[in-house]
Structure 1
Amino acid sequence: MHIKDIKRMVKGCEEFYTKLYSTRRPHDQPFNVSDNTAGPPSPPNLPSKVRVAIKKLKRDKAPGEDNITAGILQDGREPVASIFVKLFNRCLIDGRVLSCWKSASIVILHTKGDKADIKN
């Protein structure tokens, strides 16, 4: 699809990402493990898995709303991993996540090809 009008391009991107990241469950309705018909509840997050996930983060990426970079998490080592394990497992038990985890800022960068083609 070719779009040359910037307002239509922004609107098209907004619609695309809204559809991509939308869920069928209203944000104010918590997820209950008993609602999960696909199988058994998720297992608890293990410290070793959290440590591996933190280690795999790319240090050169921009931080989120909390301004905590991947480097800060990686430099925090075991204390940070321990805190995240407790937090993630609490989210599983409660069936909820922090509201700030539901928001994102997406910056669209043109990398190659025709700027009017929304796929680029």
Structure 2
Amino acid sequence: MTNHNNNGHGQGPAARKAKIAAVTTGDSARGERLFRAMCAGCHSLGLRGIFGKPIASGGAMLYTSGLERRASQKWTFENLDAFLRAPKEFAGDTAMGAVAVKNAKDRRDLIEFLKV
């Protein structure tokens, strides 16, 4: 019997959507605590709401050429995750090069905080 509700990999659309949400959704309150502990020394809470906006587009901020080269892109989950995981790989000459968020859950929670 053929199952028309899956893609041949044992997961239907609802299961795939739930799986994606589980790896791209974080805890905003925990993200705020992480932001205050890890990021607030250099960044203001003004970064909230950056999610979905063009990269290197925040008014009064100065951006390195590595981020300016990505100005046609947006701060999606994938871009924020890549930047937080390995800033130098993502943006070359970024001033944030020495600070990387290695823990995937920490990155998800920070990104969730930056969405609102």
Normalised TM-score (structure 2): 0.29
Of the two, which has the highest radius of gyration?
1
Normalised TM-score (structure 1): 0.29
